[in-house]
């Protein structure tokens, strides 16, 4: 199962490349993936329908993920999952084959579409085979996201975008409600394994936690009814018909909308006895069946007829699979398979009609039967099966459904209303099935015959295969009966809807059961359905007189509009552009809520408090420095002084860490404080030097009160938190874990790269996102990472604002300085000559020459030694970033460009990729994600060497931090420098840092070469 999933997603990842080379024929290659998986599925029949599996009637695969949190990749293939997988994989393969002839090669978006459709098939397969509630939810939401992308395929059409967003919002809202229910259910059961929860189902429903279980059932059913488009959330499915027809055939007939039906069928054996279950399942299911059938009769678009028919059938399916009896379980899965076959057939037929005739309007379609007899026959089989006409699959399934409801009505005392509603819904189904055939293929008086292009056999193949399977299923239902019986047997002597009294064995699927009450109801259905069809004009007039008071789609639009208005109102009153207001709200909430909790708790302060550690009197000095720095920052009237005083508090905290025996934290704090100070100073060059007090008078008092209250509250929160511990801290085990498991003596670094590697990976991802955000604000169009060639410079094809690294004048300036460097072969720190004389410091340049390489080497030492000594990738990266900072300050933006031939974005990507590879490689070798290995070896000269593979992860951290520092320097340093040069009035006085055009021209003429030629010459020398 895991291999099938991996194959789907892996091929989906490379699908765009296939389409770029082979065009629409690539759909055949994609279809081979679910087709091969379908063959594999058939080969699992013996293991699933015997006791040869891991457990009777099932095969399972489990990969532990986070054992401590009971998170695992658990998959289970039983009868229900196997039947659902038949639809997901079989219909998926046929739909992909159909796509190869439906789309045109000129469509530029086929690569993404094919990848999304194949990934959707994999996500649906994962959903129906997942044996863990949380894992199932992941696949559930993945299908939601992919359906959003597929529905919105025609991204230039407003209707497609609107429908995609509507489907996303409705199903996501239901999914979030379902997530809460899943968590409640898993917490109550003590496990998230689905099969284990179902085994406890009856006990959970009747036990002391029955109320919580009932609430969980309601929330889970909300997710199911939104996904399967039941009333009142049915409106999103007809809107989703804006998607291409293959999407409708797969997602909205055979796959996605069946997810809710599957969830109800999966939980019914354990929770059909829960009090909220039957009212929701039967009430909403019947309402949906009737509303969908009624609306289908009003449509003039053949695709919308099928869409509302799907809504009706989904309500019917939810009713049957959720009834909780053996007969209903048998009938429900039989109808689910039949519906997948005939509805996918009909949607594909509609796609052919639209493709060949150019319209789906039944008022314009006329005489299509005469132009496409084979297509009409295929459609007739599908429509007849949908109407329940023998000897097709729909008839066999619907007979079993009638039998189940007849038995339920007689045994439960539900009365005739439920059975009458089911019959009425079936009458509507027959009527709109006939309307579909008449509208799509009949000759209509007064309507010109529709021009219809010939259909190629490859185009008709997929619906023809599905219609053939519909006939075979109807004539020979025994195999399907055998597939379903193990699932239906779960309701025998189990959790039937009456609380566990179901003792009768399920019936059997058959084409002929004799003269039964179910057959009589079928005859009534046919008679009334034919009457409605022949009286279609009268029915249409009657429907036209019914006022549209209730419209779910209109209600949805009004709700969204009200939310938008509310958001605008709230935003206008909270986003006022006042930093004082924002900070006041944030800090007030941050101290009022904890302070209220402390007062209500009314607990005494912990014993043994002291202000200064007696063993370290220097803490008083550090504390005094922090207080003085904070007060000085508040009183400062210059921005630079304020930032400098804030940094004093940071350095004081670093000193406290060092005094408390935490050199690693002290080193990191010091480096972080330094790089932040540099970033602030660079950014402040664009701001006025002075600080203006915008919140004087009474607001100053408010600021003081809020600041003191927040600080004091946080002090007491920290004290109470430290005194509230009732168990030994987990960190006491970290030294042993670090040494034995992580192979290192530095507990802090081993924790970051091994014990809590997931946290660190998330943090460096945030760093990359933050750097990208800063760069996007400064550069607007790009980081400026792309390196310009000499040809670009000569032709002037890339301008300063297109994201290129520097302008033509920049290249000329660098060329000039390289040629006049003291040593041509070692043109180091030559860009310092581009600075204005009054801004150069010979001493600083000399110090930079002495320190830069030493700092780079020291940063590598911190990286490699960090596993056993203070340091690590984060500290090493910060040190390298400070080295680049010194070089930038000495030589300006030209020198920064010379020092970093690799762009910041490239470094961030390489770092993240390295860290990700270090985490995934153990998984490929049979281990766990981010698992470390200790390699001990002996090398000549070096002797005994111990290498821990988590060092590779640390290298990724190092590269990410260097990339972040470089991004800060380029955005807040070099880019702002360039802005100053473009607008001299904004600079801080003095001549421009950049040589003038006349100077560059004179130098080039005197030397006999242009600045561009000098650049090319230097590049050639460097290459040699």
pLDDT tens digits along 357-386: 989 999 999 999 988 999 999 999 999 999
Q: What's the average model confidence in pLDDT over 446-461?
A: 91
Report pLDDT for 834: 63
Q: What's the average model confidence in pLDDT over 647-670?
A: 90
Report pLDDT for 695: 53
Report pLDDT for 463: 95
Q: Note the pLDDT tens digit of each residue in 473-521.
A: 999 999 999 999 999 999 875 444 444 444 466 788 998 888 899 999 9
Report pLDDT for 617: 79
Give the three-state DSSP class for 274: coil
Picking from 52-66, 425-439, 494-508, which range would have the lowest pLDDT averaged per residue? Answer: 494-508
Q: Which of residues 48 and 613 earns the better pLDDT score? A: 48
Report pLDDT for 808: 52
Give whole-number Cα distances, 78 to 59, 99, 198, in Å. Answer: 7, 31, 14
Q: Are 102 and 459 in contact (CB under 8 A)?
A: yes
Q: Are 942 and 951 in contact (CB under 8 A)?
A: no
DSSP 452-478: -PPPPHHHHHHHHHHHHHHHHHHH--H
| Cα 692 to Cα 181: distance, rounded to the nearest angstrom | 53
Q: Note the pLDDT tens digit of each residue in 250-297.
A: 988 778 889 999 999 999 999 999 999 999 999 999 999 999 999 999
Give kind and range of the element (H or E) at residue 413: none
* Own/partner pairs, 679-683, CB within 8 angstroms, 24+ separation: 679/968, 679/972, 680/643, 681/640, 681/643, 682/968, 682/969, 682/972, 682/973, 682/976, 683/972, 683/976
Picking from 183-197, 393-407, 778-792, 933-947, which range would have the lowest pLDDT averaged per residue? Answer: 778-792
Number of Cβ within a 10 Å radius of residue 109: 14
- Three-state SS letters, 518-553: HHHHHHHHHHHHHHHHHCHHHHHHHHHHCCCCCCHH
Give the three-state DSSP class for 641: helix
Report pLDDT for 67: 73
Whether 991 has a pLDDT exceeding 90, the answer reads no
Which stretch, 540-544, 562-566, 607-611, has highest mean pLDDT?
562-566
Whether 804 has a pLDDT exceeding 60, the answer reads no
Q: Are 995 and 816 in contact (CB under 8 A)?
A: yes
For residue 983, is it left (φ>0), alpha (ψ between -120 and 50) or beta? beta
Which stretch, 302-311, 615-624, 656-665, has highest mean pLDDT?
302-311
Q: What's the average model confidence in pLDDT over 529-536?
A: 91
Give the three-state DSSP class for 934: strand
Whether 348 has a pLDDT exceeding 90, the answer reads yes
What angle is formed at CA 260 by the lines to CA 257 and CA 265, rounded to 5 degrees? 125
Whether 806 has a pLDDT exceeding 90, the answer reads no
Whether 1010 has a pLDDT exceeding 50, the answer reads no
Picking from 108-117, 178-187, 735-744, 820-829, which range would have the lowest pLDDT averaged per residue? Answer: 820-829
Report pLDDT for 799: 38
- Distance from chain centroid for Cα 204: 33
Burial class (CB in 10 A: 0-12, 13-18, 19+), 460: buried
Whether 996 has a pLDDT exceeding 60, the answer reads no
Q: Are 241 and 303 in contact (CB under 8 A)?
A: yes
Q: What is the CA radius of gyration of the chain?
A: 36
Residue 756 banded pLDDT, cuts 50, 70, 90: confident
Q: What's the average model confidence in pLDDT over 897-901?
A: 80
Q: What's the average model confidence in pLDDT over 696-711?
A: 81
Q: Are 922 and 929 in contact (CB under 8 A)?
A: yes
| Cα 633 to Cα 288: distance, rounded to the nearest angstrom | 66
Whether 688 has a pLDDT exceeding 90, the answer reads no
Whether 432 has a pLDDT exceeding 70, the answer reads yes
Number of Cβ within a 10 Å radius of residue 180: 15
Q: What's the average model confidence in pLDDT over 765-783?
A: 75
Whether 636 has a pLDDT exceeding 50, the answer reads yes
pTM of the model: 0.74
Whether 812 has a pLDDT exceeding 80, the answer reads no
Whether 315 has a pLDDT exceeding 60, the answer reads yes
Give whole-number Cα distances, 415 to 409, 419, 793, 952, in Å. Answer: 6, 8, 86, 70
Residue 983 banded pLDDT, cuts 50, 70, 90: low
DSSP 779-800: HSS--S-BPPPHHHHHHT-S-G
| Cα 280 to Cα 257: distance, rounded to the nearest angstrom | 18
Residue 694 banded pLDDT, cuts 50, 70, 90: low
């Amino acid at each position: 199962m895991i291999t099938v999933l991996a194959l789907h997603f892996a091929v989906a990842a490379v699908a765009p490349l296939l389409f770029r080379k082979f065009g629409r024929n690539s759909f055949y290659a994609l279809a081979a993936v679910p087709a091969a998986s379908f063959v594999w599925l058939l080969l699992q029949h013996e293991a699933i329908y015997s006791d040869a599996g891991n457990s009777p009637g099932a095969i399972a695969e489990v990969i532990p993920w986070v054992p401590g949190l009971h998170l695992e990749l658990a998959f289970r293939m039983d009868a229900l999952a196997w039947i659902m997988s038949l639809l997901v994989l079989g219909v998926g393969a046929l739909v992909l084959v159909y796509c190869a002839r439906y789309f045109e090669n000129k469509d530029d978006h086929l690569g993404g579409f094919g990848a999304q459709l194949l990934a959707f098939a994999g996500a649906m397969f994962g959903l129906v085979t997942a044996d863990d509630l949380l894992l199932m939810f992941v696949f559930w939401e993945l299908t939601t996201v992919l359906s959003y992308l597929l529905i919105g395929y025609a991204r230039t059409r407003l209707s497609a975008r609107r429908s995609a967003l509507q489907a996303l919002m409705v199903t996501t809202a239901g999914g979030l409600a379902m997530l809460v229910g899943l968590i409640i259910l898993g917490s109550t059961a003590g496990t998230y394994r689905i099969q284990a929860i179902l085994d406890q189902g009856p006990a959970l429903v009747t036990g002391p936690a029955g109320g919580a279980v009932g609430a969980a059932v309601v929330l889970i059913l909300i997710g199911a009814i939104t996904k399967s488009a039941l009333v009142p959330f049915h409106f999103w499915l007809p809107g989703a018909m804006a998607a291409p027809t293959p999407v409708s055939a797969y997602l909205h007939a055979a796959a996605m909308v069946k997810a809710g039906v599957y969830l109800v069928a999966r939980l019914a054996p354990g929770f059909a006895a829960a009090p909220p279950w039957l009212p929701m399942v039967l009430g909403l299911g019947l309402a949906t069946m009737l509303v969908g059938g009624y609306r289908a009769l009003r449509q003039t678009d053949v695709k919308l007829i099928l869409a509302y028919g799907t809504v009706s059938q989904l309500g019917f399916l939810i009713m049957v699979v959720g009834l909780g009896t053996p007969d209903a379980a048998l009938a429900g899965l039989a109808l689910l398979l039949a519906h997948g076959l005939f509805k996918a057939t009909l949607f594909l037929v509609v796609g052919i009609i639209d493709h060949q005739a150019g319209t789906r309007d039944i008022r314009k379609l006329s005489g299509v039967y005469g132009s496409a007899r084979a297509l009409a026959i295929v459609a007739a089989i599908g429509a007849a099966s949908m109407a329940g006409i023998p000897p097709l699959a729909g008839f066999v399934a619907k007979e079993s459904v009638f039998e189940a409801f007849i038995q339920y009505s007689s045994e439960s005392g539900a009365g005739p209303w439920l059975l009458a509603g089911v019959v009425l819904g079936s009458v509507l189904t027959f009527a709109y099935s006939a309307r579909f055939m008449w509208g799509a293929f009949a000759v209509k008086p007064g309507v010109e015959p529709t021009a219809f292009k010939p259909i190629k056999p490859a185009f008709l193949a997929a619906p023809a295969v599905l219609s053939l399977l519909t006939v075979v299923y109807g004539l020979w239902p025994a195999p399907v009966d055998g597939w379903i019986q193990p699932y239906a047997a779960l309701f025998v002597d189990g959790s039937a809807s009456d609380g566990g009294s179901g003792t009768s064995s399920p019936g059997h699927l058959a084409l002929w059961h004799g003269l039964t009450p179910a057959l009589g109801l079928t005859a009534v259905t046919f008679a009334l359905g034919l009457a409605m069809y022949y009286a279609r004009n009268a029915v249409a007039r009657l429907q036209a007189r019914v006022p549209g008071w209730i419209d779910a789609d209109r209600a949805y639009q009004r709700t969204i509009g009200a939310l938008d208005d509310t958001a605008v109102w709230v935003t206008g009153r909270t986003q006022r552009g006042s930093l004082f207001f924002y900070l006041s709200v944030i800090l007030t909430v941050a101290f009022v809520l904890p302070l209220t909790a402390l007062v209500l708790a009314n607990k005494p302060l912990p014993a043994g408090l002291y202000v200064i550690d007696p063993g370290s009197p220097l803490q008083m000095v550090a504390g005094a420095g922090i207080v003085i720095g904070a007060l000085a920052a508040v009183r400062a009237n210059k921005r630079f002084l304020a930032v400098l005083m804030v940094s004093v508090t940071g350095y004081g905290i670093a000193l406290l860490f060092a005094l408390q025996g935490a050199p690693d934290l002290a080193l990191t704090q010091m480096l972080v404080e330094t790089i932040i100070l540099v970033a602030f100073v660079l950014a402040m060059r664009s701001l006025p030097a002075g600080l203006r007090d915008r919140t004087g008078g009474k607001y100053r008092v408010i600021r003081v009160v809020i600041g003191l209250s927040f600080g004091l509250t946080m002090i007491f929160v920290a004290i109470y938190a430290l005194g509230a511990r009732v168990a030994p801290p987990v960190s006491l085990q970290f030294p042993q874990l670090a040494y034995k498991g992580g192979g290192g003596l530095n507990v802090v670094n081993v924790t970051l790269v091994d014990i809590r590697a997931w946290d660190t990976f998330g943090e460096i991802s945030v760093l990359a996102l933050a750097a990208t955000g800063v760069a996007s604000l400064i550069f607007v169009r790009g980081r400026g990472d792309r390196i310009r060639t000499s040809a670009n410079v000569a032709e002037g094809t890339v301008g300063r604002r297109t994201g290129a690294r520097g302008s033509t004048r920049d290249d000329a300036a660098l060329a000039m300085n390289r040629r006049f460097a003291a040593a041509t072969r070692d043109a180091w720190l030559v860009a310092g000559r581009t600075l204005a004389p009054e801004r150069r410091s010979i001493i600083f340049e000399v110090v930079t020459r002495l320190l830069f390489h030493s700092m780079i080497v020291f940063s590598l030492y911190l990286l490699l030694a960090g596993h056993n000594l203070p340091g690590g990738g984060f500290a090493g990266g910060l040190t390298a970033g400070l080295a680049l900072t010194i070089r930038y300050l000495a030589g300006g933006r030209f020198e920064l460009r010379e020092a970093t031939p690799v762009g910041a974005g490239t470094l961030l990507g390489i770092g993240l990729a390295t860290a990700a590879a270090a985490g995934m490689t153990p998984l490929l070798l049979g281990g766990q994600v981010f698992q470390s290995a200790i390699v001990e070896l002996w090398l000549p000269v070096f002797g005994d060497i111990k290498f821990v593979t988590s060092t590779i992860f640390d290298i990724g951290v190092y590269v990410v931090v260097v990339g972040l520092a470089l991004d800060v320097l380029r955005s807040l340093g070099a880019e702002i420098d360039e802005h100053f040069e473009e607008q001299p009035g904004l600079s801080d006085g003095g001549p421009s840092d950049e040589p003038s055009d006349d100077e560059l021209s004179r130098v080039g003429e005197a030397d006999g070469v242009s600045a561009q030629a000098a650049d090319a010459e230097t590049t050639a020398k460097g290459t040699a």
